Chains A and B, each alone.
Chain A
Amino acid sequence: MTETAIEAAGLGMRFGRRGKPALDGCSFRIPAGGVCAVVGPNGAGKSTLLSLAAGLTRPTAGTLTVLGRSPGEVRARVGYVAQDKPLYPQLTVAETLRWGRELNTGRWDEQVAERVVAEGELDPYAKIRTLSGGQRTRVALALALGKRPELLLLDEPMADLDPLARHQLTGTLMADAAEHGTTVVMSSHVVAELEGSCDHLLLLGAGRVRLAGPLDDVLAAHRLVTARADASLDPHTVVESRTTGRGLTALIRPEGPLDPVWQDTVPTLEELVLAHLRAPQAPALRLDDVQGAAV
């Protein structure tokens, strides 16, 4: 049993010779058996990271292991849904699933795939080109779940869905992942859609790791404090601080006991992510090292 779903060391990816690297010196570890959110603004390198993990492209620097092996070796055990949900427009839903079965001999779970499609009340004989965005996402997800992956990589899975479809598909996905112990790694720039469903966080910014670790630990390592404007935040690590009138609101990483006159709360995921996105110079925090994570 692998304990680690994805592990990266100094991972770098550069498109073209002169371009800015999409990923630059990324080191992190995502444990198996949970839901990991890969968060970051557009262009942070989320899609690049997921397509590297899916074995679709080759890193230009560093190493990446998936389920303990190189990404190219574990294709059969990894499911991947790309951001634009590519499917063959000329095939019907049923033919698409048959295509999936033929390319995943020995792994394919017809029931799971058909259930995912049936829950969306999709006509199996409808051509893919006639489907709406949400229906296509459902078919793409059925393909990915039908191969019974140990690791499921989802790139902005719900980006083009209305709230209802998003809710339904998230439910389908999470139920299936919990039932089979699938590790889900899913990227999103909509933080709200992840709150409450993920238990590991990887925040990327400009191709670098900003935050990595179990969500609870990462949240617990931060405090959202309100203090007087002239308060000194030393010796704590300040991620972001904003002065409003006589008051000051700051997201900090406590390095000792907090001043009792401050008001402090544990930030929400959204507050944490937004503060880090607004403060690109804030130091990175990794709580996912092998020793620390193997609690």
Chain B
Amino acid sequence: MTAVTLETTAAADRRPGARGLLRATLRVHRSALWFWVLLVAVGTGVLLWTYGPGADAAWAEYRSRGCLRDRPLPGCDMAGDAAGLYHSGVALAGGLIGIVPFLTAAWAGAALIGRELESGTARLAWTQSVSPARWLAAKLAAPAALLVAGMAVLTLLHRLVFGSDSSLRETIGASDWYRSPAFEANGTLATAYALLGLAVGALAGLLLRRAVPALGTAVLALGALTFVLGDLRPYLWPVRTLTGTDYPEWTGMVVDDGALTSTGARVSDPICVDDARCLAEHDIVGYYRDFHPASHFWPLHLVETGIVLALAALAVLVSFRLLNRRTARAV
């Protein structure tokens, strides 16, 4: 009898293992897990196809149309069928990577947190041997790990495709390095935004405690953040400036341009073109252009990644505070 009592007490002090908690979390969100696996598989498939057969076919078509000669035939600046397919593949993969943060925010707000609070299954979990804080930690950690893993595969493949086909891209006018979604998909930013989606969705779910409003709020909030950060993007690193008596060449991510007066002041271009009287009247002696060269990709990218991750961390912190304030804490 004493032995039994002792055993029970020892068992009572043992907290459920993190592994069991993670397994339980994944079991509940199994369909989302499969969806993610499927999405990563489709993205991987599309990217591998564009990298291999897609690019090969586009080049072969380009060659067969005689566009690789010294003097390309007319029509070489028009994409052929294979080039069009290649372009679609790149766009589809970029689109998939770009939409992941929004899908994550919607799912996290609705299915991960909102529905659990709405239907009471969260309370069911909190009355097992799991504190609300550990429950939320598992809810965030499991999807975060899967998002990071999946996005790592997609972004690495995207870099591979993007890096290997710059000449092909130029010939058929596909995305530049600084345009969305290529800018995000070529580095850590896509993953950071996916994690921000997760955090924003979880916070919306905890705040609203209902699936559908949390879904809408999470997507709108992430949309607003993405919009603001997108606007701030060019200002996250010092620009380079070109000046000249004519407009400097258009290169890289152009941030600002305009005219220069004899005092060196920047003014908006009065659009005199070559009218000397007009130029003299406005005291225009040259033109400037602020831009980011391709070498600014990583500085810009990493600063924005840092900001996005800080925002995600803030949302997570607020979520835990909120949950702890509402429920009885295990002191």
- The residue that B28 contacts in the complex, of A55, A86, A91, with Cβ under 8 A, is A91
B120-164 with Cβ < 8 A to chain A? 120-121, 123-131
- The residue that B131 contacts in the complex, of A58, A72, A91, A98, with Cβ under 8 A, is A72
The answer to whether B329 and A86 have CB atoms under 8 Å apart is no
Q: Which residue of B lies closest to A72 (CB)?
A: B328
Cα of A56 to Cα of B117 in the assembled complex, Å: 11
A104 interface hit (Cβ, 8 Å)? yes
Q: Which of B8-16, B48-56, B169-177, B303-311 is the interface stretch? A: B8-16
Task: List the A side residues contacting B21 at CB < 8 Å.
Answer: 102-103
Q: A57-B328, A72-B331 are in contact. Are A147 and B27 (CB under 8 A)?
A: no
Q: Which residue of B lies closest to A59 (CB)?
A: B328
Task: List the A side residues contacting B64 at CB < 8 Å.
Answer: none
B74 interface hit (Cβ, 8 Å)? no
Q: A103-B20, A104-B16 are in contact. Are A72 and B123 (CB under 8 A)?
A: no
Cα of A71 to Cα of B328 in the assembled complex, Å: 7
The answer to whether B27 and A91 have CB atoms under 8 Å apart is yes
Least CB distance from A229 to B in Å reads 51
Least CB distance from B5 to A in Å reads 9
The answer to whether B328 and A100 have CB atoms under 8 Å apart is no
Task: List the B side residues contacting A56 at CB < 8 Å.
Answer: 123, 126-127, 327-328
Interface residues of B: mostly helix, strand, loop or mixed?
helix
Task: List the A side residues contacting B127 at CB < 8 Å.
Answer: 54-56, 75, 78-80, 144
Cα of A148 to Cα of B4 in the assembled complex, Å: 13
Cα of A91 to Cα of B125 in the assembled complex, Å: 14
Cα of A29 to Cα of B329 in the assembled complex, Å: 22
The answer to whether B121 and A88 have CB atoms under 8 Å apart is yes
The answer to whether B326 and A57 have CB atoms under 8 Å apart is yes
Sort chain B's interface into a size bin.
Answer: 20 to 34
The answer to whether B120 and A86 have CB atoms under 8 Å apart is yes
A53-91 with Cβ < 8 A to chain B? 54-58, 70-73, 75-80, 82, 84, 86-88, 90-91
The answer to whether B121 and A87 have CB atoms under 8 Å apart is yes
The answer to whether B129 and A55 have CB atoms under 8 Å apart is no
A51 interface hit (Cβ, 8 Å)? yes
The answer to whether A82 and B123 have CB atoms under 8 Å apart is yes
Least CB distance from B205 to A in Å reads 16
Cα of A147 to Cα of B127 in the assembled complex, Å: 10
Sort chain A's interface into a size bin.
Answer: 35 or more
A281 interface hit (Cβ, 8 Å)? no
- The residue that A55 contacts in the complex, of B12, B24, B126, with Cβ under 8 A, is B126
B119 interface hit (Cβ, 8 Å)? yes
A143 interface hit (Cβ, 8 Å)? yes
Cα of A144 to Cα of B125 in the assembled complex, Å: 11
Q: Which residue of A lies closest to B14 (CB)?
A: A106
The answer to whether B11 and A99 have CB atoms under 8 Å apart is no
A105 interface hit (Cβ, 8 Å)? yes
B86-118 to A contact mask, C-beta < 8 Å, 1/0: 000000000000000000000000000000000
Cα of A95 to Cα of B23 in the assembled complex, Å: 11
Task: List the B side residues contacting A103 at CB < 8 Å.
Answer: 16, 20-21, 24, 125, 128-130
Q: A72-B328, A99-B28 are in contact. Are A105 and B17 (CB under 8 A)?
A: yes
B265 interface hit (Cβ, 8 Å)? no
- The residue that A76 contacts in the complex, of B30, B121, B129, with Cβ under 8 A, is B129
Q: Which residue of A lies closest to B28 (CB)?
A: A88
Task: List the B side residues contacting A140 at CB < 8 Å.
Answer: 124
The answer to whether B330 and A72 have CB atoms under 8 Å apart is yes
Cα of A103 to Cα of B22 in the assembled complex, Å: 9
A236 interface hit (Cβ, 8 Å)? no
The answer to whether B327 and A58 have CB atoms under 8 Å apart is yes
Task: List the B side residues contacting A73 at CB < 8 Å.
Answer: 330-331
Task: List the A side residues contacting B20 at CB < 8 Å.
Answer: 101-103, 105
The answer to whether A86 and B119 have CB atoms under 8 Å apart is yes
Task: List the A side residues contacting B124 at CB < 8 Å.
Answer: 82, 86-87, 140, 143
B325 interface hit (Cβ, 8 Å)? yes
Most chain B beta-carbon contacts within 10 A, residue among A77, A107, A140: A107
Cα of A143 to Cα of B129 in the assembled complex, Å: 12
The answer to whether A75 and B130 have CB atoms under 8 Å apart is yes
Q: Which residue of B lies closest to A58 (CB)?
A: B328
Task: List the A side residues contacting B130 at CB < 8 Å.
Answer: 75, 103
A137-168 with Cβ < 8 A to chain B? 140, 143-144, 147-148
Which residues of A does B touch, CB under 8 Å?
A: 51-52, 54-58, 70-73, 75-80, 82, 84, 86-88, 90-91, 95, 98-107, 140, 143-144, 147-148
Residue pairs across A and B with Cβ atoms less than 8 A apart, 30 shown, are A54-B123, A55-B328, A55-B330, A56-B127, A57-B328, A58-B325, A58-B328, A70-B328, A72-B328, A72-B329, A73-B331, A75-B130, A75-B131, A78-B127, A79-B127, A82-B120, A86-B123, A88-B121, A90-B30, A91-B28, A95-B27, A103-B20, A103-B128, A103-B130, A104-B16, A105-B17, A106-B15, A106-B129, A107-B129, A147-B129
Apart from A72-B329, A102-B16, what are 9 other A-B pairs with CB-CB below 8 Å? A55-B330, A56-B123, A56-B328, A75-B128, A88-B121, A103-B125, A105-B14, A105-B16, A144-B127
Which residues of B does A touch, CB under 8 Å?
A: 8, 11-12, 14-17, 20-21, 23-24, 27-28, 30-31, 119-121, 123-131, 325-331
